[in-house]
Structure 1
Amino acid sequence: MKPRISMVSLGVKDVAASAAFYREGLGLPQIESPPQVAFFKLEGAWLGLCERAALAKDAGVSAQGQGYTAINLCHNVVSERDVRRLMEEAVNAGAKEVKKPQPAHWGGYHGYFADPDGHLWEVCYNPFMWVGPPDTRT
């Protein structure tokens, strides 16, 4: 297997409402999608939204479950200021702030928000990881 993730699919209650959150609230570029799903082009991957029960049925598992799902998505940025800005942007778009932006125990700076369906996103500045294009690192 090649070391990459090409798409992350999130099971949601209302595809149209969740798509609006990601498209209008967070500014992700949505690509043309059938009405029962929504796809967003990210740098190097896609984000897919699908009705939770349909996604579970497709995988052959129960759609029941709540609380921590043992996964969170992380969006790395280049500064502590960017963490605060993106967290504010997400909350203004309808996300729930789960953890205020703050220093991380491992030396970075981060915060967490939950999207309208409860999916956890960490917004993180990691001074030990470069997040820009490889040819611009100094």
Structure 2
Amino acid sequence: MKPRISMITLGVRDIAAAVRFYRDGLGLPRMESPPDVAFFTLKGTWLGLYQRDALAADAGVSPEGSGFGSLALAHNLGSEAEVDATLREAVKAGAVVTKPPEKTPWGGYSGYFRDPDGHLWEIAHNPLFWVGPED
């Protein structure tokens, strides 16, 4: 039996602009795909469930209306410096920081940005345990 792969799909306004943001701006590896869709390979994924109002507050956005769509994607890195660098790369590529990186109550370090289509991303470092695939 082939392994199952989970996929996160984001709705975007402009495929070409979104590809530039994720491929050129954030450096995600793009797979071969038809012109009306783009796929990028990622190393494993986790699903986190968190209370909506608390997640919106953590991201520094309103839980109502267009301020928060009850979803935040997270990208976990190996150090605080990597968090800072990734947020700088995202801004350079067109993202808007909604919450600058800072020490967290859970012992980590994280910040948030919105991509050009408004998708909310948390960029985090968790020194208490590795969140990612086993190498």
Q: TM-score, normalised by structure 2?
A: 0.77
Q: Deviations over 1:52-81 (max 9, x none)?
A: xxxxxxxxxxxxx73311011100001111
Residue 39 of structure 1 aligns to a residue whose secondary structure is coil
User: Any conservation in 2 of the 1:78–1:131 contact (CA below 8 Å)?
Assistant: no
Partner of 2:119: 119
Q: Partners in 1 of 2:74 and 2:95 — Cα distance?
A: 15
Q: For structure 2, which runs of at least 5 residues remain unmatched after alignment?
A: 46-64
Q: Equivalences for 1:18-29 in 2 at 5 Å?
A: 18-29=18-29
Q: Partners in 1 of 2:25 and 2:103 — Cα distance?
A: 25
Closer/same/farther in 2, CA of residues 19 and 107 from structure 1, 3 Å limit: same
User: Hey, which bits of structure 1, 4+ residues long, moved more than 3 A?
Assistant: 131-135
Aligned residues: 113
Q: TM-score, normalised by structure 1?
A: 0.75
Q: For structure 1, which runs of at least 5 residues remain unmatched after alignment?
A: 46-64
- The sequence identity of aligned pairs, in percent, is 58
Q: Does 1:129 align with 2:135?
A: no
Residue 71 of structure 2 aligns to a residue whose secondary structure is coil
Q: Partners in 2 of 1:5 and 1:74 — Cα distance?
A: 18
What letter matches 2:11 in structure 1?
Answer: G
User: Any conservation in 1 of the 2:43–2:132 contact (CA below 8 Å)?
Assistant: no
Question: Greater shift after overlay, 10-19 or 123-132?
Answer: 123-132
The CA RMSD over aligned residues, in Å, is 1.8
Where relative contact order (Cα < 8 A, 6+ residues apart) is larger, the structure is 2
Q: Does 1:110 align with 2:106?
A: no
How big is the shift at 1:5? 6.0
Q: Equivalences for 1:26-105 in 2 at 5 Å?
A: 26-44=26-44, 66-105=66-105
Q: Partners in 1 of 2:5 and 2:91 — Cα distance?
A: 27
What letter matches 1:74 in structure 2?
Answer: A
What letter matches 2:114 in structure 1?
Answer: A
Q: Partners in 1 of 2:5 and 2:124 — Cα distance?
A: 19
